[in-house]
Amino acid sequence: MKTFHKGGVHPNDNKLNADAPAQVLTYNGPFCIMVSQHLGAPSRPIVQKGDQVKRGQPLTENTAFPGSVVHAPVSGTVQNVTEAPDTGNFARPAIFIQPEGDEKEDFISDDPTLEREISLSPQEIIERIKDMGIVGLGGACFPTHVKLSVPKDGKAEYLLINGVECEPYLIDDYRLMLDKPDEILVGIRILMKALSVDKAIVGIEANKPKAIALLRQKAADCDGITVEALRMKYPQGAEKQLVKALTGREVPSGKLPIHTGCVIQNVGTCFAVYEAVQKHKPLTERLVTVTGPCVESPRNFWVKIGTPVSALVEACGGRPENTGKVIAGGPMMGKALPHLDLPVTKGLSALLLLPEEQAHRRTAEHCIRCGKCVEACPMGLEPYLLHAAVRNKRMDLCERHHITDCIECGCCQYTCPSFRPLLDTLRLGKSKVNQIIRNRNTPTR
Amino acid sequence: MTTLLYAVLLLAGTGLIAAVVLYAIATKFKVEEDPRIDLVAERLPGANCGACGKAGCRDLAKALVEGGDLVCPVCSNEEWAAVAEMLGLHADTCEIKIPVVRCQGGRLNSIRQTTYEGFESCAYAHSLHAGENGCRYGCLGLGDCTRACSFNCLSMNPETGLPEVNEAVCTACGACAQACPRGIIELRYKHAHEGRIYVGCHTEDKGALAMKHCLSACIGCGKCAKVCPVGAIKVENNLAYIDFTRCTHCRTCVDVCPKHAIVSTRPSDPEPAN
Ligand code: SF4
Ligand code: SF4
Ligand code: SF4
């Protein structure tokens, strides 16, 4: 079985209750839609207080490249255009909608039958994906249409589909692969057409045998699509690691996967692309895992973007007494939430409720020079050294030792027997070095 | 006896030859350096804090002698005048400054809603969240400023969780103000005899939100601006700011503030004469 070779760790996969069917979350309260839900230039709201909106109506426009838009998840009245806290408790622009009636934009088709015929041209597909607000649903939320527009110095050969889901606890991609395999495969064919590539490889980790078998069987009559089982290892879902695992190619430092001829999309994104292109549906809904050792019955929910996360927790039986931390995303790369009064965004893949005894960090001890972090780093960095360099403000040293290659996977911190805050310092140093590089490259006056 | 004599002669001979060689090299490769550089450098504080923008005190001395228009923010007026005189120049006097911490949130006045357990660095915490009390403008209390000070004059008060300035040691080099990721620290005139008056809050949130985070937040009500007899107070973006060049220390504003957000320090203790 294939995998990437350098570094990586093996956390317990904890895929609790993975075979529970997905449910639709019903919620009728006010929706809060964050204006910018993607990575890139901020968007600008185009609706005002008091406006009537239909389901699927665009609420924002792009200000600059790379941008993406959001749409109304329900029909109703715009209550307010103001600010709401994001996952870091910073106030960001948001639109509040009070649901009313059930009107939708005419172009949306709610017909559930599978549509295999792809009628649009590559250019039209990319344009449609842009208009429907599709972003990478693996977590980074990078606008999908930008990834599909191949830069001049690259040429796409392979489309790699990420069904790895290497983070412990998360089961939403797995559920989607079991529930919507045909739609995902049509989505893949749409993306292949948009990129004009004839080879696509779906990578799935070996702990999901059902998904592998199902997609293999369905893909048998799709030309050019193969399904590859991968040996379990974190962070296999990271772009560069997935390229290595599936094609054996190495993405050089400072380059993008496209420079090795690969474009990577998540399975969730493929489904959203299917919905956007075949059914003309904007991205206003996604699958979210609610899980954790103290959650009674971990499950997946189809949730409308803008629903408060507290509604999700309620639907799972409420917040258990001994909850110490609620994390948006998985335990390795997720972010602890300050409170539950936050809206679901396009990038939210899971809510992980950790009990008090698992929620805290342990006291950092001195580095014992065991080298475990160096062994674990999938990018071949020396975290202990970079940690010291950042603490001593040696940014030149950080740059020379490629701190900007760090993918923030957290393997180093996970593996450190002295519980040192390696990832924290690396992130800090990486952002500082990136700023230094930017300043150096912008000519002064 | 002769052994001893030989040894002494040999040693003296080697010494003599080495001296001649060294002298020759020294005259041949002599670097002409303005003797004033050393004199000026001696006069500078010698802390190498870098606040002037140079790599250290000697580097500044060199730049000054070469005619650079630079200022050592650490020198007192008298010391700076002495440096100027040495270079045949005249120094303008300037008012001495001191950093003030424009946040009174901390542990006493704001309620902690979340707990931060990550790396002890304000810059990092700032990139992650708004703060334990939810205020995105307030002090994070992790001490980046205290670590930036080369004179060790800032310390975190364990009771309030806010940084405190030791006036007697502070040289107003401004390193702390630069280190703070939230721009909470400002350099203001020291006014040793009158004390300082400033708004001890930095939030630009609207009143209701600001009050939710902190008991002593400026809510931008503008009462202080109305009573100030010299018009030194301006309210912008829900935050009052007192212009320290115009404030006359009448302290009228201090009492009208409904949130007790305006800080008024006592006159400093007389500086120790030494
Ligand atoms: S977080 Fe960065 S340094 Fe640490 S293991 Fe991952 S890539 Fe390497
Ligand atoms: S894993 Fe931790 S203790 Fe081991 S070398 Fe890295 S930082 Fe040091
Ligand atoms: S004043 Fe600024 S640098 Fe100092 S502890 Fe507070 S947030 Fe950190």
Give the model confidence (pLDDT) of B248-263 as tens digits. Answer: 888 999 999 999 999 9
Beta strands, E only, A108-198: 158-163
Contact A311, A290 (CB under 8 A): no
| Together in a domain, A95 and A228 | no
A368 CB less than 6 Å from ligand 2? yes
CA angle B259, B261, B264 (to 5 degrees): 130
Convert the pLDDT of each residue in B148-174 to its tens digit.
998 888 999 999 999 999 888 888 888
Using a CB-CB cut-off of 8 Å, the residues of chain B touching A421 are: 118-119
| Together in a domain, A165 and A63 | no
Q: Is A152 exposed, middle or buried (0-12, 13-18, 19+ CB in 10 A)?
A: exposed
Cα–Cα dist B125/B133, whole Å = 13
Beta strands, E only, A27-75: 31-34, 43-45, 52-53, 60-62
Is residue B117 within 8 angstroms of chain A, CB to CB? yes
HSE-up (13 A, CA, CB side) for residue B74: 21
The total domain count for chain A is 3
Residue A105 lies in a domain: no
Residue A415 lies in a domain: yes
Last residue of a domain, one of A37, A72, A99: A99
Convert the pLDDT of each residue in B50-82 to its tens digit.
878 788 888 898 888 888 778 887 888 888 888
Identify the CATH assignment for B97-265 out of 3.30.43.10, 3.30.70.20, 2.60.40.10, 3.30.413.10: 3.30.70.20
| Residue A21, pLDDT above cutoff 60 | yes
| Together in a domain, A343 and A280 | yes
Using a CB-CB cut-off of 8 Å, the residues of chain B touching A339 are: 113-114
Contact B262, B225 (CB under 8 A): no
| Together in a domain, A14 and A32 | no
Residue A403 lies in a domain: yes
| Together in a domain, A66 and A4 | no
The helix (run of H) or strand (run of E) holding residue A84 is strand A76-85
Please tell me the distance in Å from A146's CA to the nearest CA on chain B.
26
A78 CB less than 6 Å from ligand 1? no
Residue having the nearest C-alpha atom to atom 4 of ligand 2: A370
Is residue B116 within 8 angstroms of chain A, CB to CB? no
What is the pLDDT at residue B271?
46
What is the pLDDT at residue B136?
92
B36-87: CATH topology: 3-methyladenine DNA Glycosylase II; Chain A, domain 3 (1.10.15)
Long-range (24+ apart) CB contacts under 8 A made by A215-222 are: A215/A163, A215/A177, A215/A181, A215/A184, A215/A185, A218/A181, A218/A182, A218/A185, A219/A185, A222/A185, A222/A188, A222/A189
Cα–Cα dist A67/A45, whole Å = 13
Convert the pLDDT of each residue in A382-405 to its tens digit.
999 999 999 999 999 999 999 999
Residue A7 lies in a domain: yes
Of A88, A335, A361, the CB nearest to B130: A88
Residue from B110, B116, B128, B206 to probe the interface with A (highest A Cβ count within 10 Å): B128
Buried-exposed string A400-427: b where 16+ CB fall within 10 A, e elsewhere: ebbbebbbebbbbbbbbebebbbbbbbb
Using a CB-CB cut-off of 8 Å, the residues of chain B touching A362 are: none
Residue from B117, B126, B203, B209 to probe the interface with A (highest A Cβ count within 10 Å): B117
Residue having the nearest C-alpha atom to atom 8 of ligand 2: A367
Residue A366 lies in a domain: no
Structural domain that includes position A394: 372-441
Residue A144 lies in a domain: yes
Q: pLDDT tier at B107 (50, 70, 90 boundaries)?
A: confident
Contact B41, B58 (CB under 8 A): yes
Q: What is the mean pLDDT of chain A?
A: 92
Is residue A360 within 8 angstroms of chain B, CB to CB? yes
Model confidence, pTM: 0.84
Buried-exposed string A311-329: b where 16+ CB fall within 10 A, e elsewhere: bbbebbeeebeebebbbbb
- Tell me the one-letter amino acid at A195: L
What is the pLDDT at residue B272?
44
Q: Residue A209: how many CB atoms within 10 A of its CB? A: 11
What is the pLDDT at residue A445?
55
What is the pLDDT at residue B268?
60
> What is the ipTM metric for this complex?
0.87
CA angle A71, A77, A81 (to 5 degrees): 70
Q: Is A352 helix (H, G, I), strand (E, B) or coil?
A: strand
Q: Please state, in angstroms and as integers, the Cα–Cα distance from residue B10 to each residue in A11, A322, B23, B72, B148, following that order.
A: 74, 86, 20, 53, 56
| Together in a domain, A34 and A168 | no
| Together in a domain, A292 and A151 | yes
Distance from the alpha carbon of residue A363 to the mean position of ligand 2, in angstroms: 14
**Percentage above 90 pLDDT, chain A:** 76
| Residue A258, pLDDT above cutoff 80 | yes
Last residue of a domain, one of A99, A118, A140: A99
Please tell me the distance in Å from A331's CA to the nearest CA on chain B.
15
| Together in a domain, A285 and A389 | no
Is residue B248 within 8 angstroms of chain A, CB to CB? no
Convert the pLDDT of each residue in A166-193 to its tens digit.
999 999 999 999 999 999 999 999 999 9
Distance from the alpha carbon of residue A367 to the mean position of ligand 2, in angstroms: 5
Does B113 contact A428 at a Cβ distance shorter than 8 Å?
no
| Together in a domain, A292 and A408 | no
Distance from the alpha carbon of residue B117 to the mean position of ligand 1, in angstroms: 19
Using a CB-CB cut-off of 8 Å, the residues of chain B touching A88 are: 128-130
A372 CB less than 6 Å from ligand 2? yes
Write down the domain spans for chain B.
36-87, 97-265
Which residue of chain B is at minimal alpha-carbon distance from A424? Answer: B119
Instruction: Cis check for the bond before A66: say yes or no (omega within 30 of 0).
Output: yes
The alpha helices in A71-159, defined as continuous H runs, are 122-131, 144-148
| Together in a domain, A76 and A146 | no
Residue of B121, B184, B187, B198 with the most ligand 3 atoms within 8 Å of its CB, for mutation? B184
Using a CB-CB cut-off of 8 Å, the residues of chain B touching A427 are: 124, 127
What is the pLDDT at residue B97?
86
